[in-house]
Structure 1
Amino acid sequence: MDKVTQERIGSLHPLVRNEVTQIISEIDKELTGRAKVRITQALRTFEEQNNLYAQGRTKKGLKVTNAKGGQSIHNYGFAVDIALIIDGKTASWNMNTDWDDDGLADWMECVAIFKKYGWNWGGDWKSFKDGSHFEKEFLKTPTGKLKINNWRELIQIKQDQAGYIIF
């Protein structure tokens, strides 16, 4: 696991940090060729989210999100975006290449591991597909399971001093 990925995991909500570390470690073991996984986005501030939302609307560029600040699971530390780093230097979002020649596309190996841990993949969305995005829907809490369906539920929950929501 590279330093960038470790730093981004550190920004995630404390409830998912260990699990994401485990997921990335498992992916690293599976991808034995030229590709390694990197987290490209994790926790995102409301301001960062608003800047992304402005792309393709009030700023130049393609639309990359339909979520304003507070409306993305990234804003609460329960989502990551990934890329594959090829030969330690080139980022790739190619979902079809089998860099380790094991008969499976490396990207889809990542997807399978995230799904095994209960993470939803943006590539499965019916509209505005986001193949690099993964988000945690179910969280184990001391009182059982809490299902987080969307940002509307998260925005109403109290936050600690660091800004993370408290369950």
Structure 2
Amino acid sequence: MDQVTKKRISKLHPSVRDEVSRIILECDAALTGRAKVRITQGLRTFEEQSQLYAIGRTKSGKKVTNAKAGQSIHNYGLAVDICLIIDGKTASWETVKDWDNDQVSDWYECVKIFAKHGWLWGGNWKTFKDLPHFEKKGYEWRKLVQMKKDENGYVNL
């Protein structure tokens, strides 16, 4: 697991940090070729969410999210986005490439591992598919936004 991923895990909600670390290590162990997993996004502030929501609306570009501030599971540290790092340097969001030649795409190997641990994949959403996105099953932003926060700013689950 690379340092970028470790740093991003350290900012996730404390209740999922160890689990996400185990999932990433399991993905990396399954990917025996040139690819390893990197978390590209974990905890996202409400301000960062607002800026993303503006893209394709009040800022130029193609829409990247339908979630306003507070409506993303990222805002609570309970979601991650990933990419594959090829040969330790090149980011890839290629979902069909089989870098380790085991007849299963490396991306799908990770999808299966996240699912085994009870995480939902944005690639399964009916609309606005989000292939890099995984979120902890059982949490809904409408409930999270109403919860009290601890001294570090994380919702009390």
Asked if Structure 1 and Structure 2 have the same fold, meaning a TM-score greater than 0.5 normalized by the shorter chain, the answer is yes
The answer to whether structure 1 residue 107 and structure 2 residue 107 are counterparts is yes
Corresponding residue of 1:2: 2
CA deviation after TM superposition for structure 1 residue 79, in Å: 0.2
SS in 1 for 2:120: strand
Please give the alpha-carbon distance, in whole angstroms, between the structure 2 residues aligned to 1:91 and 1:151.
Answer: 29
**Do structure 1's residue 19 and structure 2's residue 19 form an aligned pair?**
yes
**1:34 aligned residue:** 34
Give the number of equivalent residue pairs.
Answer: 157
Q: CA deviation at 1:11?
A: 0.6
The two structures, once aligned, show a CA RMSD in angstroms of 0.6
1:151-166 equivalent positions in 2, closer than 5 A:
151-166=141-156
Query: SS state of the match for residue 71, structure 1?
Result: coil
Q: Which runs of 4+ in 1 moved over 3 A?
A: none
How far is the alpha carbon of 1:78 from its aligned partner?
Answer: 0.3
The correspondence of residues 72-91 of structure 1 with structure 2, limited to 5 A, is 72-91=72-91
Give a deviation string over 1:44-93, Cα, whole Å, max 9, x none: 00000000000011111110000011010000000000000111111111
Q: Matched residues in 2 for 1:137 and 1:118: separation?
A: 6
User: 1-side partners of 2:77 and 2:156: how far apart?
Assistant: 12
Shift of 1:23: 0.2
CA distance, structure 2, for counterparts of residue 47 and residue 137 of structure 1? 24
CA distance in 2, matches of 1:31, 1:60: 37
1:60 maps to what in 2?
60
Identical aligned pairs, as a percentage?
67
CA distance in 2 between counterparts of 1:93 and 1:155 reads 30
Q: Give runs of aligned pairs for residues 40-55 of structure 1, distance below 5 A.
A: 40-55=40-55
**Alignment correspondent of 1:120:** 120
Partner of 1:97: 97
Uncovered stretches (5+) of structure 1, i.e. residues with no partner: 139-147
Cα separation, 1, equivalents of 2:72 and 2:90: 27
SS state of the match for residue 114, structure 1? helix
* TM-score of the two chains, using structure 1 as the length reference: 0.93
**Deviation of residue 162 (structure 1)?**
1.0
**Counterpart residue identity of residue 136, structure 2:** K
Q: Which moved more, 1:53-62 or 1:40-49?
A: 53-62
